[in-house]
Amino acid sequence: MPNGSLDSHLFKDKTLLTWKVRYNIALGLVSALLYLHEEWEQCVVHRDIKSSNVMLDSSFKTKLGDFGLAKLVEHEQGAETTEVLAGTKGYMAPEYTVNGKASKESDVYSFGVVALEIACGRRPVEPSAGQGRVILVDWVWELYGKGMLREAIDPRLTSTEGFDEKQVEHLMVVGLWCAHPDYNRRPSMREVMHVLRFEAQLPVIPSKMSVPTFALPPDASVLEISSSVAGSSSKSTMF
C-alpha cells in the first residue's frame, strides 16, 4: 500500500496524521469489520485486528490486511474455538486468551484497542518507569473514571487540521465500550458505526473497569450459607 500501515504513522515518525484523517481511518475500519461480520455470506472473524494490519492507500483510505488467521463461521453460530491461540498481545480479548474462543466480540475488542491508539497516539502496552508497563485500555479507563479523559488525547493532534475534541472523546469512549472486559457488553460494529456517525447516543459505560464474569471463580455466583437453627443445619443459596 502506498502509505503503509497505520502504526507506522502513529509510532514511527512518518507523516503526522491529522485528526480528520485519523477519524476517517477509524470509520473505514468499522466499515470493513461490519462487512466481514454481518454483510458477507458468512461471518468472517479476522482474529488479528491491530494497527499494523490497517493499511492505507494513496488517499489514506482504510484497507484491512492479513487474513492469514481469519475464520469463517455461520452468522447464527457462536464463538469458534481454536486449537492454537493466535493473535497479537495487547489486542486480544481477555476471554480469548483464557478459552481460545474467537468471535465477532473478540474482533470488536481488538478494534477498541486500535480506536484508542488512533485517539491517544500510544501503543497497547508501553513500558513505564517504576510501573513496569502501562496497558492502554486500563490507563484510558482510569482517566475516564476520574473525568480526565482529555488527558489521554494525543497532544500532537490539537494543532492538526479538523481537530474536533468532541469527536476524539467520542472515539475514546467507543474504544472503551468495545474493549469492555465482558464480551456480552460489547457493541456490534453496526452500533459502533451509528455512534461514530453521531446517529445514535454515546453509551454510558461504568466509571471503573469491571471484572469479566469468566474470570471469576466457578462458584462465585452462588453463595452457600450454612446456619444452625434449633440444633439442625440448613443451607440457603443466593444468586
Please list the active-site residues. Answer: 48
SS (H, E, C) 125-146: EEEECCCEEEEHHHHHHHHHHC
| C-alpha cell at position 87 | 493473535
Q: List, in sequence order, every residue forming a beta bridge with 229; answer none if it has no partner.
A: 232
Task: For residue 213, give the DSSP letter.
Answer: G
